[in-house]
Amino acid sequence: MRCIIIDDEPLALELLEDFISKISFLELIASCSNGFEATSVLQEHQVDLIFTDIEMPNFSGIDILKSIDQKPLFIFTTAYSHYAIEGFNLNAVDYLVKPIPFHRFLQAATRANDLFKLKKEKITIPEPTKKSSHFIFVKSEYENLKINLEDIKYIESLKDYIKIYTDKPKPILTLSSLKSFEEKLGNSDFIRVHKSYIVSLNHIYSVQRNRVIIDDKWIPIGLNYKDDFLKRIEGA
């Protein structure tokens, strides 16, 4: 991933340059000490990821991002934690508070790389298909359970397993990938909103910024699924 750093503190620039040099999938294009330098770089180079401080003279990190039409992925690096909510409302990949340990930087960079790969693969939500059955069977522990589709609220991915949440207190755990289960549902009442979540449109209580509310559960809406999800609910 081609990235740039924006920070008015020389020591912070030096530290992030060192971190980036240790991560094989990151390629540093430029280190910028202010927003004006960064704007110039962004006009001349294709950038996939921005690491930016927030509080800087004249041109804050938030101002920089708001001025970009086609935003790359970005991670905030700042000494001030009170900007976190605004940062995530801008769809930041992560929010790193200084002093930044390497393991947190690596975690944030890896998350950005995963999102970048998803964007390159041009992931789209499959068109809903009609299914005559109103129920499915899933294997859980030592039995095959029948689940009425209308009872499913949402499904969560846990690596090789998924958890199916219904009206019952305990979710159903079954060995499956989220993708294969999505195909099994084949139902227009369900939609994928995140790499780890499928939700039932019938059970959504509300949509707030970048999350779906079902009962007391806040489910994130992933960047790569947001547009298709909003089209579905606006057309409902």
pLDDT (tens digit, 9 = 90+) per residue, 89-109?
A: 677 888 899 999 999 999 999
Give the residue-averaged pLDDT of 193-197: 94
- Phi, psi (5° rounding) for residue 139? -90, 125
156 phi/psi in degrees, rounded to 5: -120, 135
Whole-model pTM: value is: 0.51
Say yes or no: 150 and 61 in one domain: no
Q: For Cα atoms 83, 86, 91, give the angle at the middle one, nearest 5 degrees.
A: 125
What's the number of domains the chain is made of? 2
- Specify the higher pLDDT residue, 79 or 50: 50
6 shares its domain with 107: yes
The pLDDT value recorded for residue 130 is 46
Q: What is the CATH number of the domain that holds 30?
A: 3.40.50.2300
Residue 71 and residue 35 in one domain: yes
Q: What is the pLDDT at residue 10?
A: 94
pLDDT of residue 131: 44
Q: For residues 92 and 154, state if they share a domain.
A: no
From 90, 120, 150, the end of a domain falls on 120
In a domain, 125, yes or no: no
pLDDT at 5 over 90: yes
In this structure, are 82 and 171 located in the same domain? no
Same domain, 73 and 154: no
What share of the chain has pLDDT > 70, as a percent? 89
Domain extent at residue 47: 2-120
Domain assignment of residue 17, yes or no: yes
Instruction: Give the span between the Cα atoms of 41 and 100, in whole angstroms.
Output: 25
Helix (H, G, I), strand (E, B) or coil at 65: helix
